[in-house]
Structure 1
Amino acid sequence: MIVLLGVLAQPPMLEVLSLDGTPVTIGGALRGGTGAGITRDGWPALVASAGAVTGVAVTMNDALARYAAVMGLTARDWHGQAVLGVAAEGTGQDGAAPPDHVALAAEIARQILAAGPDVDPALLAWRLPMTGIWASSRIRAQAMAPSGQGVVPLRPAQAIRTLARSQPFTGYFGVERRDLTHELHLGGQTASMTREAFLMGDAAVLLPWDPVRDRVLVIEQFRFAPALRGDPQPWLLEPVAGRIDAGETPEAAILREAQEEADITVTRLFPAFHAYPSPGAVCEFLYQYVGIADLPDGSAGIHGLDGEAEDIRGHLMDRARLSQLVDAGQISNGPLATLSLWLDARVDRLRGQLGLPLQAGGV
């Protein structure tokens, strides 16, 4: 038997790992652990204390063994009892845990197991940050209000039947393949079909706008996919954008990205529209914003994170200039084009909300 402690002892984790156990109490205290189940170094430390910790005694199974291998967990002897779910003494991580900590840890565990037993645990450990991004995306999706209300009927979960599933590719991104059927509009069920989707996770997108100068900041960077397609210009003009990290809100993510990619401070966010850019095969969902920022001359530079091989150049331009580029078909990045159109259609309304005078005429 082995005693699971902390996040590992929570019912959602036990369910994902197919474990039944018996509650037990051991002497000591857990210190830290705000990243337990989310990062490999986020587990709590078990320290000597006059108090007691409640855990769950279980029998090791294949799912738990695989999860522990990915998470770098090994059983620790604590006064003759084998315990799991804690770091080496004194290394427990402190900080603020995400609000849905246990739910997120359980979803990450579910995705680790979904990768299949043949994937090297070292690979899954390396891509753990991306797994957390994907797990957070799934949690956000389940909390979304259904789209198309009043037009598209809300169907039950049983409307989609999965017959087989696999992940034929697992890298920084992943690909999931499923054989499935779903309900037909006229009744009945489709024949079995095979579908594949690119597992990416949610991203946040920002068009910085200085309403006083009526200018925007866009960025330029090399993009591999257009280069692979044979596009003669794979250095695209884009909005600021980035993945939403595990446990992070879309708003926090885009404010962080504004600092990393453009070295600007956004003082207010206006949510634009949030949408799937290519729902036929891509599991990405975009949270899109126009952000208010001070953009004086000289505020565009070259930025990006060296650790992510980013080489990002900023460009300041009048809002009208960006609109002209969109109209001329010179913006091939979809989110930038649509955010430009969104801002143009609402510029007077936004200026009113900001307490600024309306502009005569328009774009």
Structure 2
Amino acid sequence: MITVVGLLAMPPMLEALGLEGRPVTLAGRLTGGGLWGVDRNSWPAIGPGGALAGVEVQGNASLARYAQVMDLRPVDWQGRQVLGVAGQGTTEAARPDPDLAAEIARQIIDAGDHPAEHLAWRLPMIGIWAASRLRAQGRCHSGGDVVARRAGDAVRVIDRRPRFAGYFAVEERRLTHALHRGGHSAPMTREAFLMGDAAVLLPWDPRRDRVLVIEQFRFAPAMRGDPQPWLLEPIAGRVDAGETPEAAIAREAREEAGLDLRRLIHAFDAYPSPGAVCEFLFHYVGIADLPDGTAGIHGLDSESEDIRGHLMDRADLSAMVAAGRITNGPLIALSLWLDARAADLGVEPAPGPGGS
């Protein structure tokens, strides 16, 4: 028997790992830690003082697999083998997100026979995908009153198979779905590219009525054979597990353009290619000060980013969109959205010559 504590003793985690057991109380408290169940290096420690709730369980294959990926080992505490802590310590404990951690646990258990070390390497992307799934479940009904609400069994999954897991992943599912004329479709096999949610941003200076766009090399156009795989784009990045889209895009603005935003305006959200790409984009316009000399070369070396900023009048970006000279979909959409609403958002008088 083993005693799970902290995050592992919470109902969502017990359910995700298929655990049942007897509640117990230990003398002690959890200390330290950070993103429990998200970052394998941020588990709390156990220390003296207080009363700590736990659950005594019989270990199973799911718990063993999860503990291996998360680098959790039993700790001897008061004659019990305790799981869910990194050791012993004395600092204040952080608060976990049990729903997010449970979804990450389910993704780990469902990942097939990939080595634990590989899944540990993939944990940041597993977390992004898990958080994306939770975010999707909390969204408003898509399609408004036009699209009818379906019953919970409108999509029936017969079988699922992980086909590839690198930085991104590919999953195959055999399923049926409800038909417009009634009944269900014949079984079909589909594959999807698992990417997770991301946020995109077009920085705009209303006083100068200019925007900042970025230029970087893109692998997919190069794979397609495009002779110009350096694209003009909005600022963009994945929404990390435990992060909001707004926090993600503010972080990306600093990393990719050295910008601190004065105000963030939510434009719209969309699936860019819902036929097979599991990506959902949160689109923003960011109010920023963009004087001459603002653009530069930025990006994180750790992510092999080589990003050049370009300042341009909003009208010039609009003309490029109209002439078909922009091929990045989110940038086209944000340019059109901003053009339609700039007057309502308040274009301030332009500065004098030099744009400073």
With structure 1 as the length reference, what TM-score do the two structures score? 0.94
Structure 1 equivalent of residue 266 of structure 2: 271
1:274 CA drift (Å): 0.4
Structure 2 equivalent of residue 115 of structure 1: 111
Q: Structure 1 residues 357, 312: closer, same or farther in 2, change over 3 A?
A: closer
Range with greater deviation from structure 2 (85-94 or 187-196): 85-94
Equivalent position to 1:104, from 74, 85, 100? 100
Instruction: Say whether the 8 Å CA contact 2:30–2:93 is kept in structure 1.
Output: no
Q: Distance in 2 between matches of 1:286 and 1:170?
A: 22
Structure 2 equivalent of residue 168 of structure 1: 163
Range with greater deviation from structure 2 (82-91 or 313-322): 82-91
Q: Is 2:82 the counterpart of 1:83? A: yes
Instruction: Say whether the 8 Å CA contact 1:44–1:92 is kept in structure 2.
Output: no
1:41 CA drift (Å): 1.1
Q: Distance in 2 between matches of 1:93 and 1:235?
A: 47
Instruction: Say whether the 8 Å CA contact 1:43–1:92 is kept in structure 2.
Output: no
Structure 2 equivalent of residue 22 of structure 1: 22
What letter corresponds to residue 56 of structure 2 in structure 1? A
Instruction: Say whether the 8 Å CA contact 1:44–1:93 is kept in structure 2.
Output: no
Q: Distance in 2 between matches of 1:73 and 1:91?
A: 19
Structure 2 equivalent of residue 337 of structure 1: 332
1:31-79 per-position Cα deviation (integer Å, ceiling 9, x unaligned) = 0233111110111100122x22110000010000000000000111112
What letter corresponds to residue 109 of structure 1 in structure 2? A
Instruction: Say whether the 8 Å CA contact 1:130–1:173 is kept in structure 2.
Output: yes
Structure 2 equivalent of residue 7 of structure 1: 7
SS at 1:185's partner residue? coil
Q: Distance in 1 between matches of 2:319 and 2:292?
A: 21
Structure 2 equivalent of residue 302 of structure 1: 297
Q: Distance in 1 between matches of 2:209 and 2:90?
A: 50
1:88 CA drift (Å): 2.0
Q: Is 2:68 the counterpart of 1:73? A: no
1:107-147 per-position Cα deviation (integer Å, ceiling 9, x unaligned) = 1101111111x110001000101111111111110000011
Q: Is 2:259 the counterpart of 1:280? A: no
Unaligned runs of 5+ in 1: 359-363
Structure 1 equivalent of residue 149 of structure 2: 154
Q: Is 2:321 the counterpart of 1:326? A: yes
Q: Distance in 2 between matches of 1:78 and 1:212?
A: 63
1:212-259 per-position Cα deviation (integer Å, ceiling 9, x unaligned) = 001000000011011001011111000000000101111111011000
What letter corresponds to residue 64 of structure 1 in structure 2? L
What letter corresponds to residue 69 of structure 2 in structure 1? V
Percent of residue pairs identical? 66
What letter corresponds to residue 29 of structure 2 in structure 1? A
Instruction: Say whether the 8 Å CA contact 1:42–1:92 is kept in structure 2.
Output: no
What letter corresponds to residue 261 of structure 1 in structure 2? E
Q: How many pairs are equivalent?
A: 350
Q: Structure 1 residues 92, 198: closer, same or farther in 2, change over 3 A?
A: farther
What value does the CA root-mean-square deviation take over the aligned residues?
A: 1.4
SS at 2:52's partner residue? strand
Structure 2 equivalent of residue 361 of structure 1: none
SS at 1:123's partner residue? helix
SS at 1:236's partner residue? strand
Q: Is 2:56 the counterpart of 1:57? A: yes
With structure 2 as the length reference, what TM-score do the two structures score? 0.96
Q: Structure 1 residues 85, 186: closer, same or farther in 2, change over 3 A?
A: same
1:93 CA drift (Å): 8.4
Equivalent position to 1:239, from 209, 216, 234? 234
1:188 CA drift (Å): 1.3
1:92 CA drift (Å): 7.0
Q: Distance in 2 between matches of 1:243 and 1:91?
A: 34
Instruction: Say whether the 8 Å CA contact 2:208–2:349 is kept in structure 1.
Output: no
What letter corresponds to residue 112 of structure 1 in structure 2? I
1:176-234 per-position Cα deviation (integer Å, ceiling 9, x unaligned) = 11000011100111111001111101000000000000100000001101100101111
Structure 2 equivalent of residue 252 of structure 1: 247
Equivalent position to 2:129, from 115, 125, 134? 134
Instruction: Say whether the 8 Å CA contact 2:28–2:46 is kept in structure 1.
Output: yes
